[in-house]
């Protein structure tokens, strides 16, 4: 397995570093930004890809992603989260687990129940993602998603 991140600092660097420290290859899908992003040093040599357009970067993420784990963030994080939710909801991609780390942040930032109550989001679509507070809990959600999927495929 390979860890792929946006290739920048912060939580992206932490994910690349953790994978690198256990000998796993890491990919960085870096984006050229005027004052922010630079590739972190834990990306495997030859696996840092620099993008100019967000749309192409997201496409490469989604072609390979087996899960999305989103941490509190800004516009870019919301863009990637909503793109993924939309693609899964509309069945344009194979379903994948979507884990939002930090329930307090996400419930304050996005009032899902309001969106459901106003009819903008179907109640069933709230089940497209799960919350996690720890790395272990996030990993548990991902494992459960694939275990349930494997069980469904073997019984049908």
Helices 54-64, 75-89: axis angle to 10 degrees equals: 50
- Six token digits for residue 42: 């834990």
pLDDT band at 87 (very low <50, low <70, confident <90, very high): very high
12 touches 6 (CB < 8 A): yes
Q: Name the pTM for this structure.
A: 0.88
49-53, 55-59, 146-150: least confidently modelled range = 146-150
- pLDDT at residue number 152: 66
- Write down how long the chain is: 156
For residue 113, CA distances in Å to 77, 107, 110, 116, 131 come to 20, 9, 9, 5, 15
Measured between alpha carbons, how far is 15 from 96 in angstroms, rounded to an integer? 19
Q: Please report which confidence band the pLDDT of residue 153 belongs to, taking 50, 70 and 90 as the band edges.
A: low
**Residue range 108-125, pLDDT digits in tens:** 999 999 999 999 999 999
């Amino acid at each position: 397995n390979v860890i792929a991140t946006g290739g920048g600092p912060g939580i992206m660097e932490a994910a690349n570093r953790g994978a690198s420290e256990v000998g796993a290859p890491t990919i960085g899908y870096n984006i050229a930004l005027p004052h922010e992003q630079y590739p972190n040093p834990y990306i495997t040599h030859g696996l840092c890809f620099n993008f100019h357009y967000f749309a192409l970067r997201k496409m490469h993420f989604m072609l390979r992603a087996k899960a999305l784990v989103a941490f509190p963030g800004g516009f870019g994080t919301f863009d990637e989260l909503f793109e993924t939710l939309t693609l899964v909801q509309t069945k344009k991609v194979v379903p994948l687990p979507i884990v939002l780390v930090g329930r307090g942040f996400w419930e304050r930032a996005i009032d899902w129940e309001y969106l459901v109550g106003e009819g903008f989001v179907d109640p069933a679509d709230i089940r497209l993602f799960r919350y996690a507070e720890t790395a272990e809990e996030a990993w548990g959600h991902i494992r459960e998603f694939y275990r349930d999927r494997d069980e469904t495929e073997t019984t049908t």
